Structure 1
């Protein structure tokens, strides 16, 4: 459909972009469709990669945290966050179809906001994802101990790290297929949970009366802690949607980015909205909100409780397998994203040039090795300094992710101004007003994080790291300016 709507102007612009692709890369210039990466990701794989990056263990285990803050009104918080994520998906799709570059939104920010924004956004996002990878692999090790409690934690952590790195070091097609099935397990579990929950609410489970919807208001009302609690819950809920931006990073390896990226972006957010809102509606309808555990043990998950009531054999073991898969899936996707970010930075001269090389299979293996080093650091911190350093790393992850969203929206505002009146295969409805509204929402959520117990470290870790990145960029820019005059004279 998108191809049928292309105008001659679009074809001319594409030819101009391709001509830019064929020119040698220069420092500070974001590149198009980097040579070396292979377009081997299918549309179905790209869609599941985005889902895999966004749905981690937070839905299965951490959802009780948001419920404990807002009560049944957490449904409203998830709905609001879903709308903002949908705006982000449309904005990204609109820009990425025009610029299907390695690194996704990073080079786009550099193109429309300047070199500094492109440098800062990619490195702070890289750091945020590395922290997430470290936390996910440690979580995976803990889940394996559910079956093997005597197993030292370092053994599954090292084992899972080696396996996931091997998958990412191989051909991108292998990564895409693995992530597709990882994500499929999570999707099936969520769909089954919602189906069982709706059955329990409307018809009742075997030997039980229909639950009805009384629990939504019977325990202190729909919003028992007030409207302010809904806003505080938004900081937690928004964290659940972080990862939807990963779809943009696949553009340089998509077989048909003009078709696949917009479709995957829209479907991903709509799936997340249905999954999150549907699952939360089931939880707060069937379980009194003030009894939902906020713990992190598999046996305390709302999913386990419902499946156990439905008579699912070994419900805790089944869900342990699901959350283990969720952790590995999120780790797999985030390794992919961080490697492509590093690769993109190297192409633009903001990381060693050697990191822009790819193997025979098209994978940026050296860039992946850098992300693996960060993974090792995050794992060490999470294991040996969990009570001190790791909360700061988690805060850095949230700060970096929200800062990335802000820069994506800012890039879209400039993009819209420069491409006003031009035909596009996909457009964000209501822009620039919807873009500004979403941007203000993300900024407000970021400003709220110091007032939440879970993410109070976001500013403590994020602001100093952001300042460090700015200083590093200024040093790099100064060195380049020093070299430029002599280069210009020699060229003359």
Structure 2
């Protein structure tokens, strides 16, 4: 197959995902518990100026979405950006990107299912953690093992819960800031400049917050992995990518703006747990009964939705590797429903290992795994942008027509985005929370790259 030729249909996989399902799958993978509970870290670094950080992060994610859409319209293949990297950057790049991304997603799945178990203990504190972790793992495996149409519909409504919650939160927050709530006067915008000013940490604090903010937008790339199972990838994938990033930017930007406008940023920065979440504080002020319990349910569904989507994309990535001979060929088999069952089970094995580490060594091994996940995701973004540059050069050299969807301002936009991601990657080493990402990520990346020749020889013999 020539590099300019696209795969019309992937044998075995079923094109059963609708445009609305693809859009919500992308939202589900990108919005986890970070906005509801984890945004305090970014606020502690930048103060109210974290609003700027989320706006910049949204622009970066939008560039990534356009770059992905430009390539996946032409190549709607299993493996998404990994298969495209293989095609335009070479087999080594495709191998490293896909295995790195697979490991990053499996680690994320383990952290999300463990977090979900902890949220259940909000109601039943004496419940052993392994009980909800095991139960949620089984349920999400069954959902992913069903037909892709069922998975898409399940994820659509599951992700809708957190989308509706964010919309309601933003609407209530704007009312609270401007006109006030019953029995509570309007807060105004004073909190944005009090307590040390708009940017108490200066430019340095704002830049350090970009590491956390960029992490919040990770998952944007997942939309490319739905192309091989989309009913109309040429229409649905670009539309879903654009809408998803616009909604993400709007949700994060408005959500964080409401948080720092209502809650003094030193308080938001140290908020720990569901009961102290700014969401709970606002819903309580609005007179919502049992706000903490309702919010805990929403955060629980957010974790499970992200887990389900990441399980889906990790299975498709393993399937893609097997198709190219870089993983056992059994992973390329699909069942009668068109589901890569063996690839799913392999991803579930990694889920189990990560969840066990999370329970047994939360202060040691699990932190190391999360560092690898973050490092792997940023490396994936770098290779996506590099693939887009090579994609454009190749099509121009072969006299092929440009993609119907194009990243505005490219290649300059692409180079700037790559430089920005690289700068964030280097900055990880200067943050206490994410320094392990570089310490663990670089050796891991070298290990994957060094294993390529042996895997390549085995694939050629087979």
TM-score, normalised via structure 1 length: 0.91
Paired with 2:31 and 2:19, the residues of 1 have a C-alpha distance of 19
2:438 aligns to what? 459
Residues 89 and 387, structure 2, Cα contact 8 Å, conserved in 1: yes
Paired with 1:318 and 1:276, the residues of 2 have a C-alpha distance of 20
Matches within 5 A, 1:268-283: 268-283=244-259
Residues 70 and 406, structure 2, Cα contact 8 Å, conserved in 1: yes
Paired with 1:259 and 1:419, the residues of 2 have a C-alpha distance of 21
User: Is 1:121 the counterpart of 2:97 in the alignment?
Assistant: yes
2:13 aligns to what? 37
CA RMSD of aligned residues (A): 1.5
Paired with 2:271 and 2:206, the residues of 1 have a C-alpha distance of 20
User: Equivalent residue of 2:186, what SS?
Assistant: coil
User: Is 1:449 the counterpart of 2:428 in the alignment?
Assistant: yes
Matches within 5 A, 1:382-461: 382-420=358-396, 422-461=401-440
Residues 338 and 368, structure 1, Cα contact 8 Å, conserved in 2: yes
Paired with 2:391 and 2:307, the residues of 1 have a C-alpha distance of 32
| Cα 1:47–1:85 shift into 2, 3 Å | same
Q: How many residues align?
A: 458
User: Which one has the largest radius of gyration?
Assistant: 1
User: Is 1:68 the counterpart of 2:44 in the alignment?
Assistant: yes
Aligned match of 1:199 in 140, 160, 175?
175
Matches within 5 A, 1:291-370: 291-370=267-346
Residues 293 and 300, structure 1, Cα contact 8 Å, conserved in 2: no
- CA-to-aligned-CA distance 1:37-82 (integer Å, 9 cap, x gap): 0000000000000000000001100011111110000000000010
Paired with 2:16 and 2:457, the residues of 1 have a C-alpha distance of 39
Q: CA deviation at 1:474?
A: 1.9
1:220 aligns to what? 196
- Structure 1, unaligned stretches of length 5 or more? 1-12, 22-31, 485-492
- CA-to-aligned-CA distance 1:258-308 (integer Å, 9 cap, x gap): 000000000000000000000011011111111114454111211111111
Paired with 1:300 and 1:135, the residues of 2 have a C-alpha distance of 21
Residues 326 and 456, structure 2, Cα contact 8 Å, conserved in 1: no
Aligned match of 2:347 in 344, 356, 371?
371
- CA-to-aligned-CA distance 1:228-252 (integer Å, 9 cap, x gap): 1000000000000000100000000
- CA-to-aligned-CA distance 1:162-218 (integer Å, 9 cap, x gap): 000000011001110010011100000000000000000111011122111111111
Paired with 1:317 and 1:256, the residues of 2 have a C-alpha distance of 40
Residues 43 and 269, structure 2, Cα contact 8 Å, conserved in 1: no
Q: CA deviation at 1:223?
A: 0.3
Residues 62 and 295, structure 1, Cα contact 8 Å, conserved in 2: no
1:26 aligns to what? none
1:17 aligns to what? 5
Q: Any runs of at least 4 consecutive aligned residues in structure 1 with deviations exceeding 6 A, and if so which?
A: none
Q: CA deviation at 1:480?
A: 5.8
Aligned match of 2:454 in 455, 467, 475?
475
Paired with 1:296 and 1:467, the residues of 2 have a C-alpha distance of 36
TM-score, normalised via structure 2 length: 0.97
